[in-house]
Amino acid sequence: MSARKLIAGNWKMNGLTASLEELRAMRDAVAGGHLSHVDLLICPPATLVAAAAQTVGDAFPVGGQDCHERQEGAFTGNISAAMLADAGATHVIVGHSERRTLHGETDDIVRAKAEAARAAGLTAVICIGETESERETGQTLDVLGRQLAGSVPDGATADTVIVAYEPVWAIGTGRTPTVDDVAEAHGFMRARLSERFGDAGRAMRLLYGGSVKPGNCATLLAVDNVDGALVGGASLKSADIVAICDGVRTLA
């Protein structure tokens, strides 16, 4: 468990140079002391990582959304963790359900990417989560257990790994699990990580992701073992990010 909530934004395939304006506004909100009760992380598309890191300076960290398992080589179109680090990133999302579904990424691949992130000095934000049919057939905890075992590398620590629980059916749909369902999933993840990693597993940050908005963030982030949020659509605008951070002010 971590006392300060982490609000992490995943911009997905959104953002042109004009979007740096939003990052400037977020930087100014942080610089004004307005967000001092939370930690903020924004993961723009790879094309903007260097400019984003320059724009926000040391106001808050910037991350990538994916990396290759290798640090260099003949892998046309891919980007390595070393390249993201070189561009100024400190974190990288790996195993997002959109990568798992649209790019066939398995737990083995996700684990290799998390290991590559660690080798490059980046914190990996490892995403897991069940599909709607898996939930409906009562397989949620089995799926989470399997993905945790397969995707989180041996030797993971709270500095090298953050785990994000993102139910696939809650992403971009406006639907969220009940507070009880989030509590069950996060309690299960905490137990599994503690069993495997001891104190490191108890300290690892667990984020909830899937339709987090200013109106529901306080409810979702008040749940036990929810140390922050991984926010998609509502992370694109500074006003929404500030509203989400405001929403969790009482939880700090």
Ligand X SMILES: O=C(CO)COP(=O)(O)O
233 annotated as belonging to a binding site for a ligand: yes
Tokens linked to 252? 């700090």
Q: Is 96 a catalytic residue?
A: yes
Q: Which residues of 137-162 are buried (b: 16+ CB within 10 A; e: fewer)?
A: eeebbebbeebbeebbbeebebebbb
Question: Is there binding between residue 214 and ligand X (CB under 6 A)?
Answer: no
15/233 with CB nearer ligand X:
233
Question: Is there binding between residue 10 and ligand X (CB under 6 A)?
Answer: yes
User: Per CB under 6 A, which region of 68-76, 134-142, 193-201, 208-216 contacts ligand X?
Assistant: 208-216
CA 64/CA 42 separation, integer angstroms? 9
Pick from 238, 236, 150, 217: nearest CA to 6:
217
Pick from 235, 226, 230, 190: nearest CA to 210:
230
160/176 with CB nearer ligand X:
176
82/94 with CB nearer ligand X:
94
113 annotated as belonging to a binding site for a ligand: no
Virtual torsion, Cα 147, 153, 156, 161, nearest 10 deg: -60
Q: What residues from 91 to 120 belong to the interface with ligand X (CB under 6 A)?
A: 96
Q: What residues from 43 to 72 belong to the interface with ligand X (CB under 6 A)?
A: none
Residues that bind ligand X (CB under 6 A): 10, 96, 166, 171-172, 209-212, 230-234
Annotated binding site: 10-12, 172, 211, 232-233
